[in-house]
């Protein structure tokens, strides 16, 4: 990186002029926040209402080698235009035009950091800075064109997103965040308006507030947008990179339920919600999976020390980066299915079923990743064959499990009788019995799986505290049996979800994008 003052000079900015000018205080029309000492927060809120007013009466500026056309949007310091490169292929780009006279020292620092970051990062889920230029009036950032608009408009057009679509989007955001986190870069203004769509691919954009921050670095300046801003930014005026995790939680919440958790009718109500100690709750009747609920509530912990960590976030089962659609998905699936076929030929039904299910977890994202229609359809037909074989094995394994379970019924009855002096152990056994009964009635869903997992959690604790003896032996065998049933049920659910995904005529994200474009 070269010297900042040199950068100011080559961009035609008078650094000394900044040192001599004192900006007059900005007074919001509603002073509830400023009376509480949050003038900057109030300004940030009211900046939203001012957007679109700046530069609206001006024609697009002229830029060598580019033809600027429609205005896409404007903010406090910049206006974004769609443009075409003046070449034979007329490449479409987005041009962010920053007026020099609108910049103060802090905003110029932010702009230079944005340019530094975007010039050095290359990632499929981060918008690419192709070039930047300047003249006597403006600074121009020439950016990758994303034809699908932003995530905010996409969510509004759909009202709410199905969980599996929200999950596919979340995986892409997490993938970009992991890349940035490894480079000690924090975005600090994550929100749906700053996430762009290009086909079915999400890209993080607008790095105007981004900073290089190591895990132990802290900031105190107000950054971000109030609806998506972590509470510690306002309440403590001291924060670190974990604020990005809070913002991801708000984005996921809005995608699933159609509104942000702090959605308010007034600025006073918004401030009250930000400053409250009340834990974030999901809307009444929210129907989301156990993993999704767990992730949401851990991301939206008000206390950053209680919030999920970056490492935990990247490894969370709902994020599931291991099974994210990528160029490697198909190779992983093929490797696993070869092992499955081998075990199948050897008559090892349970092992073969497990490997088929693992392969399918990579085949589905491979189908989503494939862009060629013929190859996609051929892959879908092949996957349907593996699903059919997995269904056959599932029936065989279920029959074996039933026989084994019935044989151990007498031992199970003895264990219950021996556990009457242990209420928690008895309750866990009852919960497991309820799960077994639900499964026997054909109720093979996440609620039943959750009952298995809860009972196993209690039974494992009881086993750890149980002394050597007959009851410990019976308990150990019961836990092994229940683990086997829970694992089988998990595979049942996975096969059913795979059948749903594979049978879809269209990729769920791509279809949603097309629908939203029609609605807009």
Place of tokens 């094995």: 393
Q: For position 183, which CATH number holds?
A: 1.10.510.10
Judge whether 385 lies within some domain. Answer: yes
| Angle made by CA atoms 484, 486, 492, in degrees to the nearest 5 | 105
- The catalytic residue among 189, 206, 501, 507 is 189
Judge whether 247 lies within some domain. Answer: yes
Q: Which residues have C-beta within 8 Å of that of residue 183, sequence separation ≥ 6? A: 121
Asked if residue 302 and residue 173 are part of one domain, the reply reads: yes
Asked if residue 412 and residue 397 are part of one domain, the reply reads: no
Structure confidence at residue 91 (pLDDT): 92
| Angle made by CA atoms 119, 123, 125, in degrees to the nearest 5 | 120
Judge whether 396 lies within some domain. Answer: yes
Structure confidence at residue 29 (pLDDT): 36
Residue 498's nearest CA partner among 380, 340, 338, 343 is 380
Structure confidence at residue 501 (pLDDT): 66
Mean pLDDT split into 10-residue runs, the chain, 520 residues: 49 41 34 38 41 51 89 86 90 94 88 93 95 91 94 94 92 97 95 93 93 74 83 88 96 96 90 92 89 96 96 95 90 95 93 90 88 90 90 85 76 88 91 87 83 92 92 92 86 74 53 42
Q: Domain span at residue 491?
A: 408-497
- 167 token code pair: 């999950």
Structure confidence at residue 229 (pLDDT): 92
Beta bridge partners of 81: 71, 95
Question: Can you tell me the distance from the alpha carbon of 75 to that of 49, in angstroms, rounded to the nearest whole number?
Answer: 10
Asked if residue 139 and residue 52 are part of one domain, the reply reads: yes
Structure confidence at residue 315 (pLDDT): 96
Residue 167's nearest CA partner among 312, 306, 288 is 288
Q: How far is CA 141 from CA 97, 408, 411, in A?
A: 7, 70, 72
206 catalytic residue (yes or no): no
Asked if residue 116 and residue 8 are part of one domain, the reply reads: yes
Residue 142's nearest CA partner among 156, 128, 125 is 128
Structure confidence at residue 243 (pLDDT): 95
Structure confidence at residue 391 (pLDDT): 87
Judge whether 133 lies within some domain. Answer: yes
Judge whether 39 lies within some domain. Answer: yes
Structure confidence at residue 440 (pLDDT): 78
Judge whether 342 lies within some domain. Answer: yes
Asked if residue 453 and residue 365 are part of one domain, the reply reads: no
Judge whether 152 lies within some domain. Answer: no
Whether residue 183 is annotated as binding a ligand: the answer is no
Question: Can you tell me the distance from the alpha carbon of 492 to that of 435, in angstroms, rounded to the nearest whole number?
Answer: 14
Q: For position 484, which CATH number holds?
A: 1.20.58.80
User: H-type helices in 11-68, by residue range?
Assistant: 15-20, 32-35, 39-50
pTM here is 0.75
Question: Can you tell me the distance from the alpha carbon of 210 to that of 258, in angstroms, rounded to the nearest whole number?
Answer: 27
- 47 token code pair: 């900046």
For residue 409, give the 3-state DSSP assignment.
helix
């Amino acid at each position: 990186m070269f010297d900042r003052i040199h950068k100011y000079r080559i961009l035609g900015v008078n650094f000394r002029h900044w040192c001599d000018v004192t900006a007059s205080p900005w007074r919001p029309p509603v002073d509830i926040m400023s009376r509480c000492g949050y003038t900057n927060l109030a300004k940030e809120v009211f900046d939203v209402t001012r957007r679109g007013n700046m530069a609206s009466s001006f024609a697009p500026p002229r830029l060598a080698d580019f033809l600027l056309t429609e205005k896409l949007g404007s903010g406090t310091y910049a206006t974004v235009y769609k443009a075409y490169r003046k070449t034979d292929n007329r490449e479409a780009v987005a041009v962010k035009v920053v007026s020099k006279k609108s910049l103060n020292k802090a905003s110029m620092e932010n702009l230079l950091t944005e340019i530094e970051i975007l010039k050095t990062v290359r990632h499929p889920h981060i918008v690419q800075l192709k070039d930047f230029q300047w003249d006597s009036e403006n600074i121009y950032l020439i950016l990758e064109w994303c034809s699908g608009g932003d995530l905010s408009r996409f969510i509004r057009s759909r009202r709410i997103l199905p969980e599996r679509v929200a999950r596919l989007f979340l995986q892409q955001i997490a993938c970009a965040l992991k890349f940035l986190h490894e480079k000690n870069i924090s975005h600090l203004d994550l929100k749906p308006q700053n996430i762009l769509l290009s086909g079915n691919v999400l890209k993080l954009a607008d790095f105007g507030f981004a900073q290089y921050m190591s895990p132990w670095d802290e900031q105190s300046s107000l950054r971000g947008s109030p609806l998506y801003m972590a509470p510690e930014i306002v309440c403590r005026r001291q924060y670190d990179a974990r604020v990005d995790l809070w913002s991801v939680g708000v984005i996921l919440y809005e995608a699933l339920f159609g509104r942000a958790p702090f959605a308010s009718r007034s600025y006073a109500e918004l401030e009250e919600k930000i400053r409250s100690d009340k834990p974030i709750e999901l809307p009444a009747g929210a129907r989301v999976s156990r993993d999704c609920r767990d992730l949401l509530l851990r991301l939206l912990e008000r206390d950053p020390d209680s919030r999920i960590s970056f490492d935990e976030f990247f490894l969370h089962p709902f994020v599931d980066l291991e099974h994210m659609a990528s160029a490697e998905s198909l190779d992983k699936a093929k490797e696993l299915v070869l092992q499955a076929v081998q075990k199948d030929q050897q008559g090892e039904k349970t092992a073969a079923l497990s490997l088929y299910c693992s392969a399918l977890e990579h085949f589905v994202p491979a189908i989503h990743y494939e862009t060629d229609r013929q190859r996609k359809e051929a892959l879908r037909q092949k996957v349907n064959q593996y699903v059919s074989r997995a269904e056959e094995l599932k029936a065989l394994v279920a029959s074996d499990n039933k026989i084994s379970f019935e044989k151990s019924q007498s031992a199970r009855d003895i264990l219950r009788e021996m556990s009457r002096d242990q209420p928690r152990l008895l309750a866990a056994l009852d919960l497991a019995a309820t799960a077994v009964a639900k499964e026997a009635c054909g109720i093979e869903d996440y609620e039943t799986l959750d009952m298995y997992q809860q009972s196993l959690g209690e039974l494992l604790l009881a086993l750890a505290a149980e002394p050597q003896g007959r009851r410990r032996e019976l308990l150990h065998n019961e836990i092994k049996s229940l683990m086997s049933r829970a694992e089988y049920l998990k595979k049942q659910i996975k096969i059913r979800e795979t059948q749903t995904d594979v049978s879809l005529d269209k990729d769920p994200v791509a279809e949603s994008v097309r629908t939203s474009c029609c609605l807009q």
